[in-house]
Each structure stands twice: as C-alpha cells, then as structure tokens.
Amino acid sequence: MLAGDETLEDEMYETEIEIKSSDGLHMRPAMQFVDLANQFDSEITVSNQQDTADAKSIMQMTVLAATYGSKLKVVAKGRDAKQAIEALKELVDTKLFGNAAAGQDEKE
C-alpha cells in the first residue's frame, strides 16, 4: 500500500472558476477562499493570465485583482487535491457568489 500512498501524494487536479460578483474577489471572499485552502495539505495555486498566486496566502491572492467575470485557474497537487478542488469550486460557485444577484435585488 505504500506505493499507492506515494502515488496519491502526487495527484494533481485543476478547475476553472469564474468570479460572478460585481464586487469581484474582494478581501472578505478572498479570505474565505484562503481559509478554506489552508484546511488542505495539498499545494494550491490560483492563476489568471498574468500571475500565479499561492491560494493559502491572502497577500498573493489580492495580487490577482480578480474582478467581475475574471476566470481563474485553480490547481491543487497532493494527497487531498481532489477534495481541495471540489471544496474551493463549491465555495466560489455557490457559497461566495451564488446569491449575489438575489442580495442586490433586495437592496433595490
């Protein structure tokens, strides 16, 4: 089984996420993203077309300056990479920005 464990440590998964909030990936949702990324042992990076950031660093994540409509590539490498990608995608797609439009309607 050790050979299988070594293989799992090298697993790599990736996904693309889109920022759907008109406010972009500002400090509060970025911190939630970083907090969740830090719950995993895998190395996780997020990149736009110009820069790549460590998903576990709020300072690096803010450098991405992800505005509404930005598409970001998230890559995780490690034994829990699949779980990390799934959790981060769910956070962005449903928890962070899933109700953004509904919240804006209530203000009007």
The answer to whether the beta carbons of residues 78 and 40 sit under 8 Å apart is yes
Task: Enter the pTM of the model.
Answer: 0.80
Domain 18-98 superfamily per CATH: HPr-like (3.30.1340.10)
Per-residue pLDDT reduced to its tens digit, 1-53: 444 455 555 799 999 999 998 889 889 999 999 999 999 999 999 999 899 99
Q: What whole-number distance in Å separates Cα of residue 1 and Cα of residue 18?
A: 38
b (16+ CB within 10 A) / e for 46-80:
bebeeeebebbeeebbbebebeeebebebbbbbbb
The domain spans of the chain are: 18-98
Per-residue pLDDT reduced to its tens digit, 79-104: 999 999 999 999 998 877 655 443 34
Pick the catalytic residue from 26, 28, 71, 95.
26
Active site residue 78: no
